[in-house]
Amino acid sequence: MILIHYGEIGLKGKNRIKFENLLVKNIRRILNEEVVKISREHGRILVFEKENADYELLRKKLKKLPGIENFSFAVQTPCNIDEIKKNSLKLIKEEDFKSFKVHAKRGNKSFPLTSIQINEMVGKEIKNKMKKEVNLNNPEITIYIEIGKENAYIYKEKISGIGGLPTGMQGKVISLLSGGIDSPVASWMMIKRGCNVIFLHFYNETIVSYPKKIEEIIQLLTETQIESKAYFVRIGDFQREVIKSVPAKYRMLMYRRFMNKIANEIAKKEKAKGIVTGDSIGQVASQTLDNIICIYSSSNFPVFSPLIGLDKKEIINIAKKIGTYEISIKPYDDCCSFMVAKHPVIKARIEEIEKMEKRVYFSPEEILEKAEIKKFVI
């Protein structure tokens, strides 16, 4: 069986119930055929897998699901010290180790032994029967014992989850996804916090072919979100219009304001609550504080940028951890760099940009009509 612990201790009342319900539903969805039964006990979720389950697969899937603090492959025994001793021995009998410790937690206060007494009794049993040493500070193996209401759970490994909130806890957001390193990380962070992220990617159909790489990123993030929707929008016609009348050093800002405006249209249609980008202050010329303000002012919806205060190195570390990095570094010409100046303006003035925008033909309806919408499932 699998014992799942969830975090977010701050959640109370109705929110807590919603959290638990969603988490159980999401676990069922990702593990589906691997699972026979899921039940709940105060503060933990119990998953009973089918016989001959693929444990590596179960581990891989649960390690990506938002809302899980940690989980363990455990044995369930009746709340009885002899059973606990017997099963603790059984759990580690194949292991090669010299030192160990027992870490008991008594959730059920009606159990007659305290945690310390359980530690001592089980510890003594292992020490005598297996001839191993107790080492409380730096043991090679820890045997965890949790005493629940009716059953006890014994395991030897606590596997970290990603934490966060189950998908579906919060509303929808539209995430501007480029092929770069940053925006997949920003999207992942919003998914992790329970948002339903709808992806939006722009490409210039005259310089890139179908964005396969973007689909790979979305597919990977869907392992965390379970189900995703994505919009692919062509930006070539708009860019050609911009090039006709706007000096090269302003074009990047125009493109990004355009992206926001389309994202706003989609947000209205999808009843989403905000826009997400992978911006980080000062990382590139288009991301000076002044430029960010100029870009974001084109949105009526709030713009969320979860990476705003992170350094590139920190973002790369997350990208590597979640697996998007390897896909992001594959070559891809982002449309943002289409015919732009090497040195764009770094202190854009909103009024100036708005004046230039009046000269460019732009119809969000026409553009959205041609958008391609795709669904992704785990």
Question: Which of residues 66, 180, 274, 344 is near ligand ATP by CB under 6 A?
Answer: 180
Cα distance between residue 235 and residue 318, in whole Å: 29
Is 287 one of the binding residues for Mg ion (CB under 5 A)?
no
Among residues 183, 196, 260, 299, which is the contact residue for ligand ATP, using CB under 6 A? 183
**Binding region for ligand ATP (CB under 6 A) out of 8-16, 54-62, 92-100, 171-179:** 171-179
Which of 145, 200 has the CB closer to ligand ATP?
200
- Which residue, 84 or 190, is less far from ligand ATP as judged by CB? 190
Assess 335 for contact with ligand ATP (CB under 6 A).
yes
Binding mask 307-346 for Mg ion (x = CB under 5 A): ---------------------------x------------
Alpha-carbon dihedral angle through residues 242, 243, 249, 250, given to the nearest 10 degrees: -10
Q: Give CA–CA dist 216/222, Å, rounded.
A: 10
* Closest CB 263 distance from ligand ATP, rounded Å: 8
Under the binding rule (CB under 6 A), the answer on residue 334 touching ligand ATP is yes
Binding to Mg ion (CB under 5 A): which residues in 169-188?
178, 180
Cβ closest to ligand ATP, residue 85 vs residue 229:
229
Beta-bridge mates of residue 46: 3, 39
Count of residues that interact with ligand ATP, criterion CB under 6 A: 21
Choose among 91, 113, 112, 116: nearest CA to 103.
Answer: 116
Tell me the sheet residues that pair with 75.
154
Considering only residues 193 to 252 of the shown chain, the ones binding ligand ATP according to CB under 6 A are 200-202
What letter does residue 210 receive in the DSSP assignment?
-
* In the complex, least distance from residue 186 CB atom to ligand ATP, rounded to whole angstroms: 6
Minimum Å gap between C-beta 6 and ligand ATP is 30
Closest of 17, 21, 19, 18 to residue 7, by C-alpha: 19
- Residues in 282-311 at the binding interface with ligand ATP, rule: CB under 6 A: 283-284, 286
In Å, what is the CA distance from 204 to each residue of 129, 235, 336?
Answer: 70, 5, 9
Minimum CB separation from ligand ATP for residue 337, in Å? 8
Task: Give the number of other CB atoms < 10 A from CB of residue 161.
Answer: 20
Question: Does residue 93 contact residue 86 with C-beta atoms inside 8 Å?
Answer: no
- Alpha helices of 66-194 — where are they, by DSSP H? 81-92, 115-130, 182-192
Q: Are 8 and 165 in contact (CB under 8 A)?
A: yes
How far apart are CB 198 and ligand ATP at their closest, in Å?
12
Give the Cα separation of 103 and 70 in Å (integer): 16
3-state SS class at 3: strand
**What is the pattern of x (binds ligand ATP, CB under 6 A) and - over residues 43-82?**
----------------------------------------
Residues 216, 248 contacting (CB under 8 angstroms): no
Residue 181 contacts ligand ATP per CB under 6 A:
yes
Q: Please give the distance of CA 310 from its chain centroid, rounded to a whole number.
A: 17
The site for ligand ATP (CB under 6 A) is made up of: 176-178, 180-183, 200-202, 256, 259, 277-279, 283-284, 286, 334-336
